[in-house]
Amino acid sequence: MLLTERERLREELLQLIGQIGRDRSALLPLLQEVQRKYCHISEYCMQVIADLLDIHPVEVHSVVSFYSFLDERPQGQFVIRLCRTATCDMAGKDHVARQLRNDLRIGFGQTTPDGKFSLDWANCLGMCDQGPAMLVNERIFTRVTPEKVHGILAECRQMFGAHATSSPKERQI
Amino acid sequence: MDKELQPIGSETRAPASQRSRTAELLKHAKALGKEIDVSIDGNSVTVPLGTTILEAARELRIHIPTLCFHEDLCLAGVCRICMVEIEGQRTLQSACSYPITAPIRVSTHTAKVRRARRHVLDLLLASHHGECYICTRNGHCELQALAAEYGVDLFRFGRADRPRYAIDASSHAVVRDMNKCILCRRCVRTCIDLQEVGVLEALHRGQHTKVGTFMDKPLADVVCINCGQCINRCPTGALRANDLTDEVWEAIDDPAKHVVIQTAPSPRAGIGECFGLEPGRPLTFQMNTALRRCGFDRVFDTNFAADLTIIEEGVELLLRLQRAIVERDPAAVLPQFTSCSPGWVKYLEHFFPDYLPHLSTAKSPQQMFGALIKTYYARTNRLDPKNIVTVALMPCSAKKFECNRPEMCASGFKDIDYGLTTRELAKMIREAGIDLPKLEKSDFDNPFGTATGSGVIFGATGGVMEAALRTVLELVTGQKIENFFAHADIVPLRGFEGARYAEVPITKVGPVPALVRHLFPDWNWLRGATLKVGVCHGTANAKRVMEDIRDGGRFSHCHFIEFMACPGGCLGGGGQPTPTSPAIRAARAKAIYSEDHAYSVRKSHENPAILRVYEQFLAAGPCGHESHELLHTAYTRRGKYIA
């Protein structure tokens, strides 16, 4: 049976709702799942979620636009967030930032053309005693140095290459 | 008579599982009748436990300024202008959202409070971009009034020197200028909670917060039904109706144009409020004089078209009933829904498109009148329809959208050229230097001059149903409606309950009147039937009724249901004067029902002008082919998904 992309998404969301619930409070866990799997929450997806939870699409958009970890536009497979608060700044986040920019050839707030990496700032990751701190998807790296950056990126690339044919979810760190 | 009590507006939009426990407990305490003493500025009052400080203060007639608070909406407590000092508490509290649970002493205007309020105002003004001189709300803006009240004499924190957002003028009905928005979220609560349409919500976070539509799309591209309730509740000029008065003036000033205005019932009941009168003072005939002085060539009464709508819609209902009962045609769609409220029509097109066949195909009175003016009136008065400019004075912003629907060109021209709101007409009258309340009275112009009380009550919720029943029952039973309901007042249909239901048994039937004899051989099939009707107002209640119909509930067994998009019906429309509140709407309703009583003819089918139109022009009678071409329409399946 031919299933369009949209029908498939709807099926998947229905399945997720079966696990999480149809309550209004299911919205956030649902959005997190979608974000994890698709690296963003599409316009159509927001409308389906609204439809299934019996709320308005603009309410879903309101929530998505409120949280920094939920995105309307596609992000890379690996979203790298570097802490920019005072202690990490003093611990040398600028050097790490320069290394990231040079290695990935993108600026902060951008995504690599191959869709593998997105670079962004974070405001305090709670690792002030171990700065500079950096988040790659859901994994935290502390005491990051420019040398370590290279290794982390290499590990990401390797993981991406090794599992290139598997489902996007398994590609995550 | 069976009534379903559903308050307008939900107290909280969160589902039961997420409602705060304290609020639940307090309501319980209130039910127990527990009372508590509170002292505000040294005045004591005893109030039920859980009363807010604001409510207690209003009881004592102590003024506390408010901005985000609105009587029709759930609490927000976000603007912080209503802060008061409570003895023994370190921080100030917002009066609108503080429930009194213990005996407290409140001060409303201490130095600390005044400083805090002024601070809040200064901060609001720092990010409010807009020039008062060129604002539609100049003179009746709540923010401006507060700035005056608190003697703001400088922009302490500077002011926005350039706009942050583009003005969204994509919609025919509502214009959004978010530079003037102060984020009180009244529009959000109106759209999501009061109307349950769900177009507006706060987007982003912190200083980037902005009230916007889904994916920040233009208003014309989202599911907005143009009801304009957000305009009525916006404290500033951030939301306004699409004002076309300049175009109307231009047409008036053009000697080649024959400018005709029709006036709906609700603006008459509301326009006085724009001239400082208390709500509920109808100025129907003064307004006619004012319109002529403004330069309109003819002033017609929309009630004429309302009477026509009743005939067309009523006959359509009888035809549907005949198909269902006599012919036992399963394709006969019942219940029939009214179609006079353009907000409701668009709501149904978006949210329940499968039910469009239920919608009466009869156009709204505004559009029927437009089609007749550019055909029947043009012909009888030897006017070229291309030189006629039709203006409609409506209490409604959605009417501006309706007259721009592509299918509304039955006359070969745009049937209605411009829709004006009550507020816009008040502006025109002021601009013409006319003091409306002191004007002498004058009547409507012929040939449509005479109207009936049935047309007038279209303005109040339940009015269309009452008018339809007056006509349908008289047509069918051959008896005076006064025999069933004293003074022809069908009181059970009146009031402000969210959804109402009534049953009218038809015990005996009379001869078929000449007007519809070609459609119905006799009424015997209706003998012993019970006519079931429903009435609801506000799209939130409409949603409840639609869900009831979908689930096979009581309303699914109805034959005819009146839906109005706005709370209170047209008299609470999005084009009516601001502010609005349940008390103001009740006063306007009273004015409308008193107007009805003043008419000598109070039933649509007795309107001599209507009978003349059927005789001279719509010769095939109600629902005949001429009327199908001019007075009936089709609807669009829109759906709620936005591309």
B contacts of A51 (beta carbons < 8 Å): 640
Which CATH architecture fits B2-109? Roll (3.10)
User: Domain ranges in chain B?
Assistant: 2-109, 119-241, 246-304+366-438
Span A69-93, pLDDT tens digits? 999 999 999 999 999 999 999 999 9
User: Is residue B228 within 8 Å of residue B398, measured between CB atoms?
Assistant: yes
The answer to whether A57 faces chain B, any CB pair under 8 Å, is yes
Asked if A130 reaches chain B (Cβ–Cβ under 8 Å), the answer is: no
Mean pLDDT, residues B375-396 taken together: 95
For residue B399, indicate whether it is catalytic: yes
Q: Quick check: B506 pLDDT over 80?
A: yes
**CATH code linked to domain A5-66:** 1.10.10
Tokens coding B60: 């004592």
Cα dist from A17 to A23, A52, A53, B297, whole Å: 9, 8, 9, 62
* Angstrom distance (rounded) from CA B365 to CA B308: 7
The predicted pLDDT at position B35 comes to 87
At residue A164, the pLDDT reads 45
Q: Does the beta-carbon distance from A59 to B15 stay under 8 Å?
A: no
Collapsing DSSP states into helix, strand and coil, what is residue B531? strand
Sheet holding B83-86, edge to edge: B43-48, B35-40, B104-107, B83-86, B93-94
Average pLDDT score over chain B? 91
Third-level CATH fold of B246-304+366-438: Rossmann fold (3.40.50)
Q: How far apart are the first and last CA of chain A?
A: 33
Cβ separation B18–A25 shorter than 8 A: yes
d(CA B38, CA B46): 6
Q: Answer whether residue A168 shows pLDDT above 60.
A: no
Q: Do A58 and B213 touch (CB under 8 A)?
A: yes
Annotate B268-282 with DSSP letters as a single string.
HHHGGGGGTPPSS--
What does the pLDDT read at residue B28?
A: 58
Please tell me the distance from the alpha carbon of residue B136 to that of residue B577, in angstroms, as a whole number. Answer: 12
- DSSP assignment letter at B186: H
Indicate the domain borders of chain A: 5-66, 78-171
Those residues with Cβ within 8 angstroms of residue A172's Cβ, 6 or more apart along the chain or in another chain: A36, A77, A137, A138
Q: How far is B13 from chain A (nearest CA, A)?
A: 10
Q: How many CB atoms lie within 10 A of CB B133?
A: 6
pLDDT at B306 over 50: yes
Helices (H), B150-228: 186-189
Quick one: fold of A78-171?
Answer: Glutaredoxin (3.40.30)
- Look-up: residue for tokens 């090794």? A162
Residue B13: its pLDDT value, please?
Answer: 52
Task: Please state which of the ranges B18-32, B55-69, B556-570 shows the lowest mean pLDDT.
Answer: B18-32
According to the model, what pLDDT value does residue B633 have?
96
pLDDT band at B604; cut points 50, 70, 90: confident
Tell me B194's DSSP state. I
**pLDDT at residue B15 greater than cutoff 90:** no
Contact A150, A99 (CB under 8 A): yes
**ipTM greater than 0.85:** yes
pLDDT for residue B324: 93
What is the C-alpha to C-alpha distance for residues B186 and B236, in angstroms, rounded to an integer?
Answer: 11
* Spatial separation of the C-alpha atoms in residues B83 and B92, rounded to whole Å: 6
Domains A5-66 and A78-171 share a fold: no
Distance separating alpha carbons of residues B193 and A29, to the nearest angstrom: 24
Q: Is B206 on the interface with A (CB under 8 A)?
A: no
Alpha-carbon distances of B385 from A96, B258, B420, rounded to whole Å? 75, 9, 20
Q: Say if residue B29's pLDDT is above 60.
A: no
- Report pLDDT for B450: 67
B20 is catalytic: no
Query: What kind and span of H or E run contains A153?
Result: helix A146-162
Residue A115 pLDDT greater than 80, yes or no: yes
Predicted confidence at residue B31, as pLDDT, reads 59
pLDDT in tens, B80-127: 999 999 999 999 999 999 999 889 999 999 999 999 999 999 999 999
Tens digit of pLDDT for each residue in B173-231? Answer: 999 999 999 999 999 999 999 999 999 999 999 999 999 999 999 999 999 999 999 99
Q: Which residue of B has its CA nearest to A59?
A: B201
Which pTM value belongs to this model? Answer: 0.92
- Count Cβ–Cβ pairs < 8 Å, chain A vs chain B: 54
Choosing from B224, B570, B604, B627, which is the catalytic residue? B570
Catalytic residue among B142, B313, B424, B595: B313
Given the DSSP bridges, would you call strands B418-421 and B388-394 parallel, antiparallel or unpaired? parallel
Cβ neighbours of residue B502 under 8 Å, at least 6 residues apart?
Answer: B1, B2, B492, B493, B532, B533, B534, B535
Domain B119-241, CATH among 3.90.1150.10, 3.40.50.300, 3.30.70.20, 3.40.50.150: 3.30.70.20
List pLDDT tens digits, range B400-413.
999 999 999 999 99
| pLDDT in the model for residue B21 | 45
CA distance B346 to chain A (A): 16
